[in-house]
Amino acid sequence: MDLHHPHLIGDCLIHIFTFLTEEDLISASAVCQDWNDAAGTAWLWRRMCLQRWSFCNLAALGSERVTHSWKRYFLRRCNLEMKMTQGKPGGYTCKSLRGHTGRVVGFAYLQGNSAQHPDIWNSSSTVCSASTDGTVRAWNIQNGELLWCSPVQAPLTAIVSDEQQDVVITADSTGLIKTWRGQTGQEVASFSTGSPRCTLLQYNINNNWFLTVGTSQGSVCTLADSALTRKSSVMVCDSFNVNTLLVSPDKKWIAAGSKDNLDLSPKVIYAESLTSPSEDEDPLCQSVPVTGCQAAVFIPTQPARLAIVHHNERPNNKALTVFDVSVKKTKYKSEIRVQQVESFPLTLNQRSSHVHLAAKDSNCLVMAAGQELWVYSLKGALLASFKEHTMPISSMCVDSFRVVTASQDLSLRVLTWRNDRDQGLTLESRYHLLGGSHTVSRGFTGVACDYSSVVASAEGKDGKDVLKAYSFTL
């Protein structure tokens, strides 16, 4: 190295430092001023951020004038993930959100800390809950504050939210669908389906807002924009309740089905025929060649790959089958193709009445039933299994960092993803989050999470359910 050109020394050090871990890089920065300058190069820390997470919220880095902003982002986020991985007392706060006088039938993040673009500097989150007491309530889960409460109406049965449009959508026991402004709780619009039970699915296509509603009569009704304008309706389950409703990642397909009849097949519907229906043609719809759908999920990294847990040919047996869905258009007609990709039998406790299914990436499925949790590859290889709850799993939340299961034993089980040298992506069990005493609660009934928090609903023995909010902080 030429000592008359010190920048060459710095360039060489930066290149060498690309082979170091973050711990070694921090140690190297303490050797001397030259090493400190090289180890603090923003490019090095940006590179490590993108290698570790593949995505980073650039807006959270602050001003470019802030020294080593990529380094600060990396260290702060690593510290937060360490706390979320360990779950030690002092690494998180727990708030009890009380106010509902009935059962909590569902809740959803309205303003969350996205796992895709986490804001590690400001982690304030808002969750909206719906109850049989006929109210919607919005909560700041970090401080446990009630932000607003809607007027009382008929008992609510379902809730979803759209963070992009800052809208909450509910259904009540009379079949009345309502939308509410997320900031104020003001009612925006309503639409009556006449169905005592509704399943809600909200999605956006090319910046256009849609809501598809599954009814207890077996039909699927699609509404558009904030005025809830009716676009289409199609019968899919022949008088059985539509309680499975999904949209594909490419937003081209709606999957609809019922878990209430073992002889029914789920259906895939071309979304465009629901959102922009033709007066001369019925919506384009095709049955999936399985019966007795128990759970379903679209693979998040594929345009339209659908995994279904269903009854097998043998009595009381179940299988998991994966299909690719596509459409073939000709000059005169369009035809839906449902092609099987993989299928394998499942070993489930037949007393397990409810199956939970989620997908992590293109080759990882997570399934829960009874007290057990399994991780499968798409080809049916069992990657991991866990039985750590003492009572059945009631709900499951899966994101890019962890899996959280809620159980009637009044605990949440937290597992984190890791890459195994032999098996690839798998789960590692971490810790329990406890929900309180069984003297006042029957157990957890639901769970949801964003990047830095977990929220669960606990069924109260007095009929008044409570939300438990766990927030991980720096």
* Predicted pLDDT at 240: 92
SS3 379: coil
Kind and range of the H or E element at 337? strand 334-346
The more confidently predicted of residues 55 and 403 is 403
Tens digits of residue pLDDT in 32-67: 877 777 766 777 778 888 888 877 766 656 544 444
Residue 11 has pLDDT above 60, yes or no: yes
Tens digits of residue pLDDT in 290-332: 999 999 999 999 999 999 999 887 656 899 999 999 998 877 7
Share the mean pLDDT of the chain.
88
Kindly give, in sequence order, each residue whose CB lies less than 8 Å from that of residue 81, ignoring residues fewer than 6 positions away.
Answer: 401
* Lowest mean pLDDT segment, chosen from 195-199, 345-349, 374-378, 438-442: 345-349
Q: What ranges in 234-359 are assigned the alpha helix state H?
A: 271-275
Tens digits of residue pLDDT in 441-456: 999 999 999 989 999 9
Give the pLDDT mean for 369-388: 93
The more confidently predicted of residues 236 and 315 is 236
Give the pLDDT mean for 455-468: 95
* Lowest mean pLDDT segment, chosen from 139-148, 151-160, 435-444: 435-444
CA angle in degrees (0–180, nearest 5) for 99-396-366 = 170
Domains and CATH numbers, the chain: 6-85 (1.20.1280)
Q: Contact at 8 Å (CB) between 443 and 459?
A: yes
Tens digits of residue pLDDT in 75-93: 888 888 899 999 998 899 9
Tens digits of residue pLDDT in 159-203: 999 988 899 999 999 999 999 999 999 999 999 999 999 999 999
Q: Which amino acid is at 449?
A: C
* Predicted pLDDT at 1: 46
pLDDT band, residue 68 (cuts 50/70/90): very low
Q: Which amino acid is at 78?
A: C
* Predicted pLDDT at 377: 93
Q: Contact at 8 Å (CB) between 221 and 199?
A: no
The more confidently predicted of residues 27 and 309 is 309
* Predicted pLDDT at 8: 53
Q: Rounded to whole angstroms, how far apart are CA atoms 360 and 425?
A: 9
β strands within 63-144, DSSP E: 92-97, 104-111, 126-131, 136-140
Q: Which amino acid is at 374?
A: W
Q: What share of the chain in percent tops pLDDT 90?
A: 64
Per-position b or e across 66-78, b if 16+ CB within 10 A of its CB: eebbbbbbbeebe
What percent of the residues of the chain are helix, what percent strand, and what percent coil, each to the nearest 5?
15, 45, 40
The more confidently predicted of residues 171 and 121 is 171
Question: How far lies 59's CA from each of 79, 111, 243, 371, 429, in Å?
Answer: 19, 17, 39, 41, 33
* Surface-to-core class of residue 363, CB atoms within 10 Å of its CB (0-12 exposed, 13-18 middle, 19+ buried): middle
In angstroms and rounded to an integer, the radius of gyration of the C-alpha atoms of the chain is 25
